[in-house]
Amino acid sequence: MKTRSDTLYRQLFAHPEIVRDLLAGFLLADWARTLDVGAFERVNASYASDRGKQRHQDMVWRAKVGGEWVYVYILLEFQARSDRWMALRMQVYVGLLLQDLVARHCLTRCDKLPPVMPIVLYHGRGLWRASRDLTDLMLPPPMGLEVYQPQQQYMLIDQHRHMNPDDPANILGIVFRLLRSKTNKEMLSALGDFAERMKAPDIARARDSLTRWVRTTLQDEFDEANMSSGEEPVMLFNRRFKTYEALLEYEAVKRGRLKGLKEGRRKGMRQGMRQGVQQGVQQGRQEGERTALKGVLQGLLDRRNAPLPVGITEKMDHADTAQLSAWIQALAEGGNPAEVFTAANHPAA
């Protein structure tokens, strides 16, 4: 299911500034780094085959390269999962695009077809396993038929694994860094660069779309975010989470509460009484929160790679939410596990 953040992410590529940085940052060609925003023009992305069936390509741009009116057509395909037949799909898209150009008499001055640059933007979590070459999807032909086989390749940009562009001001590189950040240091660095980049005049037309996207993305991660400018994401993160451990605890507890709330409601409904519903919700919340906190605590202990005190698992199983939270706080502040859990057996007088 597509989220609002996914929709806003796609809309980023409706801006020539974003497409310019896409080519400049990820295409290994000198001319790609010299293109001006004015060289880009968005074109029709819906075509009809000979049988009349409509096909819609996610996004198509053309860019004027050099001093002549030579257009490189850029097909952008957005993918959330690996598609084994993507090379074949791209061949179909390219063919329909070129047919459409012929039908509309939109050829080059030499009456030839323009070059095409097929790009797949992949934002899934798993590895992209599909071949980028159509030849790999076909059986080897009998001798003498090699030259008659169709050929098609595409460029894959994996936002979670692609190397960042050399230019630190490349807005798409900053977006990718933000999406794959795993620590508060990485996220704060990306958000800081994002806020600084939003001040540049060359990004002005895309600023609103970029701000809406990052605000919605952070709202998905940080509940009840309220931002109105490019600088506020940094302020939000600093205000809500001072440490990575605090972020982990927040996310785990939130998930545990939601799970506990659902379980509690089901339990109360089975009892068929209002009192049962309330009691079930409360018990579910508490148990869900305990489970979440235990998960965070175990994660902190695992990261220490140090010998654990005897009986620690049993203590965790019997501890309430207040005790679990206290242990998490102590470990997050650098406390020694042995001292932290020993102190629990000797409360202050």
At residue 131, the pLDDT reads: 95
Judgement on whether residues 224 and 293 belong to the same structural domain of the protein: no
Average pLDDT over residues 139-165: 90
At residue 348, the pLDDT reads: 44
Kind and range of the H or E run holding 286? helix 274-304
Judgement on whether residues 203 and 261 belong to the same structural domain of the protein: no
The answer to whether 77 touches 57, Cβ cutoff 8 Å, is yes
Angle at alpha carbon of residue 65, lines to 14 and 154, rounded to 5°? 65
Q: Is 218 helix (H, G, I), strand (E, B) or coil?
A: helix
Instruction: Work out the burial of residue 64: count CB atoms within 10 Å of its CB; fewer than 13 is exposed, 13-18 middle, 19 or more buried.
Output: middle
At residue 84, the pLDDT reads: 94
Least confident of 34-38, 221-225, 301-305, 326-330: 221-225
* 348 occurs within a structural domain: no
Encode pLDDT of 263-304 as tens digits: 555 655 555 545 544 555 555 566 667 777 777 777 777 766
Average pLDDT over residues 240-268: 53
Kind and range of the H or E run holding 103? helix 86-103
Gyration radius (Cα) of the chain, Å: 27
With a CB cutoff of 8 Å and minimum separation 6, the contacts of 6 are 80, 123
Q: Quickly list H helices, 305-335.
A: 312-318, 321-332
Instruction: Give me 348's structure tokens.
Output: 């202050």
Encode pLDDT of 104-121 as tens digits: 888 877 888 888 999 998
At residue 156, the pLDDT reads: 92
- 246 vs 179, which has greater pLDDT? 179
Say what percent of the chain tops pLDDT 90.
Answer: 18
In whole angstroms, give the CA distance from residue 82 to residue 44.
26
Q: Is 347 helix (H, G, I), strand (E, B) or coil?
A: coil
Say what percent of the chain tops pLDDT 70.
Answer: 70
| Listed residue (328, 322, 307, 312) closest to 244, CA to CA | 328
* 165 occurs within a structural domain: yes
Judgement on whether residues 63 and 121 belong to the same structural domain of the protein: yes
> Is the pLDDT confidence value at 173 over 80?
yes
At residue 230, the pLDDT reads: 45
Judgement on whether residues 93 and 14 belong to the same structural domain of the protein: yes
Judgement on whether residues 50 and 123 belong to the same structural domain of the protein: yes
Judgement on whether residues 95 and 55 belong to the same structural domain of the protein: yes
Sign of CA dihedral 304, 305, 309, 312: positive
Average pLDDT over residues 169-185: 85
Average pLDDT over residues 173-187: 83
Final residue of a structural domain among 190, 209, 237: 237
Judgement on whether residues 219 and 258 belong to the same structural domain of the protein: no
* 349 occurs within a structural domain: no
Instruction: Give me 121's structure tokens.
Output: 């933007």
Q: Is 159 helix (H, G, I), strand (E, B) or coil?
A: coil
Is the whole-model pTM more than 0.85? Answer: no
- 246 vs 206, which has greater pLDDT? 206
Tell me which residue range forms the domain holding 283: 244-343
* 105 occurs within a structural domain: yes
Instruction: Give the number of other CB atoms < 10 A from CB of residue 204.
Output: 11
Characterise 111 by phi-psi region: left (phi > 0), alpha (psi -120 to 50), beta (else): left
Instruction: Work out the burial of residue 210: count CB atoms within 10 Å of its CB; fewer than 13 is exposed, 13-18 middle, 19 or more buried.
Output: buried
Return the amino acid letter for 302: D
Judgement on whether residues 125 and 29 belong to the same structural domain of the protein: yes
What single-letter DSSP state applies at residue 164? P
**Sheet with 40-42, edge to edge strand ranges:** 40-42, 59-65, 70-79, 116-122, 155-158
Alpha-carbon dihedral angle through residues 95, 97, 103, 105, given to the nearest 10 degrees? -120
> Is the pLDDT confidence value at 6 over 80?
no
* 259 occurs within a structural domain: yes
CA distances from 348 to 76, 158, 330, 343 (A): 64, 54, 16, 9
> Is the pLDDT confidence value at 9 over 60?
yes
Judgement on whether residues 198 and 289 belong to the same structural domain of the protein: no
> Is the pLDDT confidence value at 87 over 90?
yes
Judgement on whether residues 248 and 302 belong to the same structural domain of the protein: yes
In whole angstroms, give the CA distance from residue 150 to residue 111.
23
Domains in the chain, number? 2
The answer to whether 258 touches 250, Cβ cutoff 8 Å, is no
At residue 283, the pLDDT reads: 57
